Amino acid sequence: MNPRTPTIPSDTDMLLDMSVLYVEDDKITRKVVVEALTRMMGKVFSAQDGKEGLSAFQRITPDIVISDIQMPHMDGLEMAREIKHLSPDTPVIITTAYNDSELLMKAIATGIDKFLLKPVQKPALREVLLQCASPLFMAKQFRESEVRYRSMMEQASDGIFLSNREGRYLEVNTRGCEMLGFSREEILQFNIRDLIPLEHHAFLAQGMSEALAGKAQLAECKLRHKNNSYIDCEVSYGMLSDGTVMATVRDITARKKAEQALRVSEEKFRLLAENVDDLIALVDTSGNRIYNSPSYQQIFGKIPESGSNSFQEIHPDDRKHIRKIFQDTVASGTGRRAHYRFLLDDGSERFIESNSSTIRDDCGKVAKVVIVSRDVTERHLADEALAASHQRFLTVLDSMDAMVYVADMQTHEILFANRYAQDTFGTDLPGKVCWQILQADQTGPCSFCTNDRLLTPNGEPAGTYVWEFQNTVTQRWYLIRDNAIRWTDGRIVRMEIATDITERKAMEEAPRSSENNLARAQRLAHVG
């Protein structure tokens, strides 16, 4: 979207964004109209005559002015004349009970924008306000958009150039001027062809044609500096909605020099690679090996031959996926992280984690890919063992004849609930908030929550907290054991194990009830 294109608001939003000054000497009329305006406009101010209205305008500068004509001290037309002198673009609406042509001609000569006949009707008032507010609102949005657009242009770390379809520059930011050494006025005299080498003109024509067809372009090229040298640039460009072509230009001279230095120092790279434990490979854009570090000997018992295909040692089940990642890296020039398996000659597997980066030639095209890999088999097996252990832990909890759930101690989100808990509450508990689903009529975390009893002052688990509680949803009694434990993602969570003791509580209550009944009978017998 063109950053300078204003959006179209609703009528209500438009009026709520505006302020209005209403000037009327009749107290009753002023009160009625102000009440109507208050329901329509964002801010409403009032005055009782032209002199007071002019003073209020100078003080608050409203967007729109509505005024009666006949008023003491200063009439509406005189006030409007002064307002138009101060702010010619401020709309002034005159209300009058007379259809006097001479008066109307004076009002028009004063620059009055709209007329309203008294008594003022709300539909007519709203319609006139909308007619005045629409151009004001759009102008305001346009100004704000221009400020944002200019701020974006000037704060950008890259050069931004705008041109028309013929390639004539229309605008450039400060960074673009600094990059090329020209002033803004000088650049606006140029066509794009004036700043690129002659041998790139055909390439430019093709790119511009595709950009005008709506396809965003990304290319590297050279741009002429004011000192007649050429700098290496990366240019992304496309067409905006108004037909303007916008190009973002990044100076990649330093990057190109670094790439050249990398090519020159390839032997240094080789020496470094031969003294690290990571697996370092240099391959061409087809994946054929150019170089492999000696560390490959530790896994394969040999160093893969130069020219061999680097995908042949990858596990067949992972090969297609890794080949796709490699092709994307070559196409985009951006390396990616990958996880896969090597299949060794003895049938064993090794788990590998790799990162890749690209080396470009003088034309900026990806020519080689550097792959740095690490054997993470031991870590992978440890992760699998941890996951299996956690699963066994959950299986044990799931088989318990007690309600067990795990919840985040900060958000109170339920992370796990065993089968007993799911059956008790008849819902899928994970993902729910514990105090909303496990207790009744709660508007926030439970006042009896034990979270603060489960951690030591330094935030470590403090041991088991045992308590009894009658659940407010099931109305059953539970013996509860709460613990703070560390979850698989490393955070400390609350695990609650609640055993139903309703029957035990009833048995404990029976003797007390019997004793109370006996004592009551004895008291009655004594009275008798």
What CA dihedral angle connects 131, 135, 141 and 144, to 10 degrees?
-140
Cα distance between residue 103 and residue 105, in whole Å:
5
- Strands (DSSP E) along 252-376, which ranges? 279-284, 289-292, 337-343, 349-360, 366-375
Give the amino acid at 268: K
| Contact (CB, 8 A) for 176 and 249 | yes
Q: 3-state secondary structure string, 201-239?
A: HHHHHHHHHHHHCCCCEEEEEEEECCCCCEEEEEEEEEE
CA angle 10, 14, 16 (to 5 degrees): 115
End-to-end CA separation in angstroms for the chain: 97
Count CB-CB contacts under 10 A for residue 352: 24
Cα distance between residue 407 and residue 410, in whole Å:
9
Peptide bond into 119 cis (omega under 30): yes
| Contact (CB, 8 A) for 496 and 482 | yes
Give the amino acid at 278: D
| Contact (CB, 8 A) for 67 and 50 | yes
Cα distance between residue 36 and residue 103, in whole Å:
26
**Contacts with 442 (C-beta within 8 Å, 6 or more apart), sequence order:** 435, 436
**Contacts with 273 (C-beta within 8 Å, 6 or more apart), sequence order:** 280, 291, 293
CA 507, 509, 512, 514 torsion-angle sign = negative
Burial (CB count within 10 angstroms: exposed 0-12, middle 13-18, buried 19+), residue 36: middle
> Would you say how long the chain is, in residues?
528
**Contacts with 36 (C-beta within 8 Å, 6 or more apart), sequence order:** 120, 122, 125
Could you read off the pLDDT tens digit of each residue along the chain, which spans 528 residues? Answer: 444 444 556 888 889 989 999 999 999 999 999 999 999 999 999 999 999 999 999 999 999 999 998 888 898 888 998 998 999 889 999 887 766 555 666 666 666 878 888 888 899 899 999 988 888 887 777 776 666 666 667 777 888 888 898 889 998 988 889 989 999 999 999 998 899 888 888 888 888 888 878 788 888 888 999 999 998 988 888 888 778 888 888 888 888 888 777 777 766 666 666 666 788 888 999 999 988 888 888 778 787 888 888 898 889 999 999 999 999 999 998 888 888 898 888 888 889 889 888 988 888 899 999 888 888 888 887 777 777 777 887 787 878 888 999 999 999 999 999 889 988 888 789 999 999 999 998 899 999 999 999 999 988 999 899 999 999 999 999 999 999 998 878 899 999 999 999 988 888 777 666 666 667 766 776 664
Write down the pLDDT at residue 5: 45
Give the amino acid at 315: H
CA 160, 225, 191, 220 torsion-angle sign = negative
Cα distance between residue 499 and residue 515, in whole Å:
28
Write down the pLDDT at residue 149: 67
- Give the helix ranges, DSSP H, for 274-353: 297-300, 316-332
Q: For 24, what's the count of Cα atoms within 13 Å in the CB-facing half-sphere? A: 23
Cα distance between residue 200 and residue 222, in whole Å:
8
Write down the pLDDT at residue 190: 92
| Contact (CB, 8 A) for 183 and 37 | no
Query: What is each CA distance from 84 to 91, 214, 392, 429, in whole angstroms?
Result: 9, 46, 82, 68
